[in-house]
Structure 1
Amino acid sequence: MGQIVGAAIVSHHPGLMQCEEFRRAMGAGEDSDLIAGYTRLRQHIEAQKPDVVMIFDSHWFTTGYHLVDGGARYTGSYISDEMPWYLHGVPYDYRGHPELALAIEAVSRERGGFSRAVCHPELGRHYATVNLVKHLRLELSHTPVVTVSSCQNCDWQHFLKSGETIGEAIARSDLRVVLLASGALSHKFNGIDWTPKHPRIFHESNVSSPDNIISDKRAIALMQEGRHDEILARWNEEYRRLPWEAFGAHYLQMLGALGGAECRAKGVVLSDYENARGTGNVHIWFDSQPHLRNHASSGSEFTARSGAAA
């Protein structure tokens, strides 16, 4: 039986791709702690020895379907159309996993769902995937990467269902998989003429509003407690309204694969909570846990590790 051996919410913000000298200039002499956080996260991932890393990409917006990239290999040089003045010329060369992508589509078809695999090696990349591939050194480890889109005409329940489908496909496989929800929490940008409140640009006080800071920190605390059900209970009234990046698609799909509202995986915070042009960013790792809902009848098991409630 396949296993989800770990999961994480991971910041991908493009400022982290700039050179250390520039980052320190932005940080009043200090680097972003999200950089050190990548090292901490990489250690967690490497300890699990995954066969595949799956990235829920909050920049890959699709319409009508949750898409899964099923190419055997992706190679190229990335340039961002959003910030090409510094995010350009980023080479990438990493393996995909077509079999897993096709298995997800097969489970979706069984369930009358809306997930499709796209097995084309020229499918465009987005920095929510490329930045993680580079910072987590997935090319060097030769770990296959599968990216999942954020379907823009979905409600939050559809993202949970997408995650359930992915969790079932993994359970039927023989793969060890780490899930990465690539994106921010609150995602309201500061204006173009914004004046920082704190000289260290990454500092949390530069997040777009005090209310967003309070809400993000409340969500982080609930994740540390493993109370994902409480986050879902407040979704429409709070997190959908902030809103979170991609309306939370990256987190919700990850959570759906882990059992949805029944998931009690406790989060380990691996970085400071930081600002990125007004958005709230953090790395949080979740150890795997016994699956509680949609795989219970299939007999699949998830390894219970420290930091997860059984």
Structure 2
Amino acid sequence: MGKLALVGKITHVPSMYLSELDGPRKGTRQDAIDGHIEIGRRCRELGVDTLVVFDTHWLVNANYHLNCAPHFKGSYTSNELPHFIKNMPFECHGNPELGQLMARVATGMGVETLAHHETTLDPEYGTLVPLRYMNPDQHFKVVSVSALCTVHYLNDSARLGWALRKAVEDHYDGTVAFLASGSLSHRFAQNGLAPEYAFKVWSPFLEQLDRRVIEMWEKGQWDDFCAMLPEYASKGHGEGFMHDTAMMLGALGWSEYAAPAEIVTPYFGASGTGQLNAVFPVTPVSGRAIPAAQASAADGYTAIATRL
């Protein structure tokens, strides 16, 4: 019935907002902003009505959660970096119908997920920063998905991504984009060194690790990448333990996926972290490679995913 038209892995660095403002950082993140504008343009061209954002700034300690209130409006200041994002206005329409539908389907497929449509909860900046550049005219509706998951297995996040795709394709009357909003390596610069690392990655090891991963993505080496994702998330200081990436890959078909990534905004360093904007062709997949539920008590961040 419905269609998943675009999947992306996107940056949300708060220096993008600083880049708009008068001062020494003005214009310094225009490449990342232009990448968001381009992804938004493609979504419009594809007829997307809703952006589903896997937000690595929405921390949850149990279950998976979808924020699908009818409307969001306010002024946002980051509690993490209030000197970067301060009093940033936002407004967008939510999609309660789609959010509740995805939660029902995911729960029915064994991944307990709760939709919140009657809520005062606003999205975090992993959602709000991309919307600022992709959706300035409120053209798209938005559903935000919790992706800073503290006690969750990457297996289950991959299964969630697949379930959300199935909800769209089997039950939704519309066209959707999935956006994994999070960095690659995410080791912030040590306190006191942030200015020195404003445009750098924290260490040569992390930068080379990220660059090798991007090379794998561009070559479509997804079977190898899926096998290494848990260890990469751990040793590479992946943002949100890279649950957004697991959700994204679950939606694409996990290790069954074979298409190459397209890099929209080339890799760059920001406050020590590794960032990019990339899109991934949505191809037909069977879902047979989606990881099974994790049944053991082993560490969910480092346990290697099993295959069905």
> Taking structure 2 as the reference length, what is the TM-score of the superposition?
0.86
CA distance in 2, matches of 1:110, 1:288: 24
Question: How far apart are the structure 2 equivalents of 1:239 and 1:158?
Answer: 15
Q: Is the 8 A contact 2:75 2:89 kept in 1?
A: yes
1:108: Cα distance to partner?
2.5
**5+ unaligned residues in a row in structure 2: which ranges?**
290-308
What does residue 230 of structure 1 align with?
A: 224
Aligned-residue offset at 1:141:
4.3
| Percent sequence identity over aligned pairs | 27
Moved more, 274-283 or 253-262: 253-262
Offset at 1:125? Answer: 2.2
Given residue 8 of structure 2, which amino acid in structure 1 is its aligned partner?
A
1:279 matches 2:255: no
Secondary structure of the residue that 1:128 maps to in structure 2? Answer: helix
Query: Number of aligned pairs?
Result: 287
Match of 1:221 in 2: 215
Structure 2 vs 1, CA of residues 15 and 140 (structure 1 numbering), >3 Å: closer, same or farther? same
Superimposed CA distance per residue, residues 110-165 of structure 1 (whole angstroms, 9 cap, x where no aligned partner):
223221111134113211111111011x2414210011002221121111011111
Deviation at 1:38, TM superposition (A): 2.1
Partner of 1:59: 57
The residue number in structure 2 matching 1:178 is 177
The answer to whether the Cα contact below 8 Å between 1:7 and 1:254 also exists between their aligned partners in 2 is: yes
1:260 to 249, 254, 258: 254
Deviations 1:217-270, CA, capped at 9 Å, x for gaps: 111111112222211111233333212110111111111112111112321111
- Distance, in Å, in 1 between the alignment partners of 2:191 and 2:86 is 21
Counterpart check, 1:45 vs 2:43:
yes
Shift of 1:288: 1.7
Q: Which amino acid aligns with 1:182?
A: S
Residue 88 of structure 1 aligns with an amino acid whose one-letter code is K
Q: TM-score of the superposition, structure 1-length normalised? A: 0.86
Counterparts of 2:29 and 2:151, CA distance in 1: 37
Unaligned runs of 5+ in 1: 296-310
Task: Tell me the equivalent position of 2:188.
Answer: 189
Cα-Cα RMSD: 2.1
Counterpart-to-counterpart distance in 1, 2:30 and 2:205: 23
> Letter of the aligned partner of 1:48 in structure 2?
L
CA distance in 2, matches of 1:32, 1:186: 21
| Offset of residue 195 of structure 1 | 7.2
Match of 2:303 in 1: none
The answer to whether the Cα contact below 8 Å between 1:78 and 1:125 also exists between their aligned partners in 2 is no
Q: Residues of 2 paired with 1:112 and 1:159: CA distance?
A: 11
Q: 1:143 is matched with which residue?
A: 140
Q: Deviations over 1:167-215 (max 9, x none)?
A: 11111222211111111000001112227678xx42xxx2011111111
Equivalent-residue separation in structure 1 for 2:18 and 2:158 (angstroms): 34
Number of the residue aligned with 1:304: none
Pair 1:170–1:189, CA change in 2 (3 A): same
